[in-house]
Structure 1
Amino acid sequence: MTVKLNATAFGHAKKLAEEGRIVLDDRDEWSEHRPSAADENAYLEEHGFAEYARWYLGIDDEMGNETKGRYKFPYGDFDRVHRCGVLSAEVRAGQQKYADIQNAAAHLHGLLDGRRAGNR
């Protein structure tokens, strides 16, 4: 499996963060906030794979272009960036030794924590 950074998704996440389309939640909340399989399928049906891919920091280039399995490391709910999703992606990418994805998630983490600190 060759998983690499999805630069389009990284740019999309940064843009959403700059626009304030974020949820400043804690890491443990991702299991509750992450889109379900039904949510993913509904989003895919309405928007297609190109838009779906923008919500995943990793691409497994050994998987087919139009398969859900191609897209790894989700970070949001198809509307907003979730801090818990970014933190989960950062940790999992580090564990799996995907440095480019880990670094991108760490960058997003910093952006979100900067927003979080600004809200105090």
Structure 2
Amino acid sequence: MNLVVVKLNARAFDHAKKLVKERQVVLDDRDEWSEHRPSAEEENRYLEQHGFAEYRKWYLGEDDEQNEENKGRYKFPYGDFEKVHRCGVLSAESRAGQYKHTDIEVAVAHVHGMLEELS
């Protein structure tokens, strides 16, 4: 069985921390991510307007087996292309732990802690 290795996207981690420091956040509940997460249509629109360099800043994980200009490369979204969503961070933290992506889990836990300090 081929195991997909997803590594921490350091640019996205830095971007998330910067947004939290600037209070560009939504302190929502865990179960709201399904409603707040950008749809495929919203992702495509963002990509058309901003390109992959900006798009990738919103995903804490990268599968470097995938092409850089492939949406499938980017994993663990944490916001809506404007603000960090607490529900997205909690979802990413849970999934990273579930799939044993320790570096991502630790980074997301750090962002989670920063959000908790704001609330």
Superposed pair shares fold, TM > 0.5: yes
Which of 95, 107, 110 aligns to 1:107? It is 110
Residue 46 of structure 2 is matched in structure 1 by 43
Distance 1:27 1:56 in 2: 18
Gaps of 5+ in 2: none
- Write out aligned runs for 1:1-120 (5 A): 1-116=4-119
**TM-score with structure 1 setting the length:** 0.96
Q: CA RMSD in A?
A: 0.4
Gaps of 5+ in 1: none
| Alignment length (residue pairs) | 116
Distance 1:19 1:51 in 2: 18
1:66-104, Cα deviation, whole Å (9 max, x unpaired): 000000000000000000000000000000000000001
1:27-48, Cα deviation, whole Å (9 max, x unpaired): 1000000000000000000000
Distance 1:101 1:28 in 2: 21
Percent of matched pairs sharing the same residue: 70
